[in-house]
Structure 1
């Protein structure tokens, strides 16, 4: 079955993130100078302007910071999934991460809901991190 939704377009900054996703690992940059774990990735820490960065593997747990329920498809690939939920998840490590909520009805999603990452293998090259409620 062909994947009909938009695919990611990795660049030099987020290549390691997408490689991690393919291995079902949620990777983020961490500043060696101030310790900030950040998303999106960047060459310079937005907190202290250091260029000393490492990549860490996050636990994939957090809570819903905010969310929106989509009742209209803005791309034909999403028409069969309406309504669906996009959410900003505040991860335990600190970053806020835009994602899709799965594993529950849209009316069950709430701010501060505890969630965990799951993976959708969409092609041989890409796996997408999505989040579901922790039961």
Structure 2
């Protein structure tokens, strides 16, 4: 509509929340489905009533890989797919654990940490702390 100001898109809202140290995902007010990656329309019902909620942060590793790099290029890092209790899957990394100890089924907890470029990012820690 002409003359109607729109707010920031869902990706910008998600990034702003992370910058404040808050991890939230969307939840559809129509059907109750949790949604991640941020969207404007619910992928389950097509509704546009998506609000922000704080997830438990608890999840389970679905899959993982280790990217091998020379030490002078930053060294090795892991990439994981984590299924949150709310039913969404996220790509991230796990800190506080040796790469070879990361396996499918590992229980993890989300926190707001630092991404590859120094930006705020959701990272995971093994349940119970560093191992």
TM-score normalized by the length of structure 1: 0.78
1:120, 1:29 → 2: CA distance? 20
Gaps of 5+ in 2: 1-7
- List, as ranges, runs of 4+ consecutive aligned residues in structure 1 with deviation greater than 6 Å: none
- Partner residue of 2:78 out of 67, 85, 94: 85
1:118 to 103, 111, 118: 111
Q: CA deviation at 1:60?
A: 1.5
Kindly tell me the number of residue pairs found equivalent between the two proteins.
118
- Structure 1 CA distance for aligned equivalents of residues 88 and 27 of structure 2: 10
Tell me how far 1:81 sits from its aligned partner: 2.8
Instruction: Spell out, residue by residue over 1:20-72, the C-alpha distance to the aligned partner (whole angstroms, 9 max, x if none).
Output: 21222211111111111111111111111111111111122111011111114
Shift of 1:121: 4.5
Partner of 1:6: none
Whether the 8 Å contact between 1:16 and 1:27 is mirrored in structure 2 is no
Whether contact under 8 Å (1:26, 1:59) holds in the other structure is: no
* Mapped partners of 1:121, 1:85: distance in 2: 14
- After TM superposition, give the deviation of residue 94 of structure 1 in Å: 1.4
| Higher RCO structure (Cα 8 Å, ≥6 apart) | 1
TM-score (norm 2): 0.80
Distance in 2, Cα, partners of 1:34 & 1:72: 44
Larger Rg belongs to? 2
Give the gaps of 5 or more residues in structure 1: 1-10
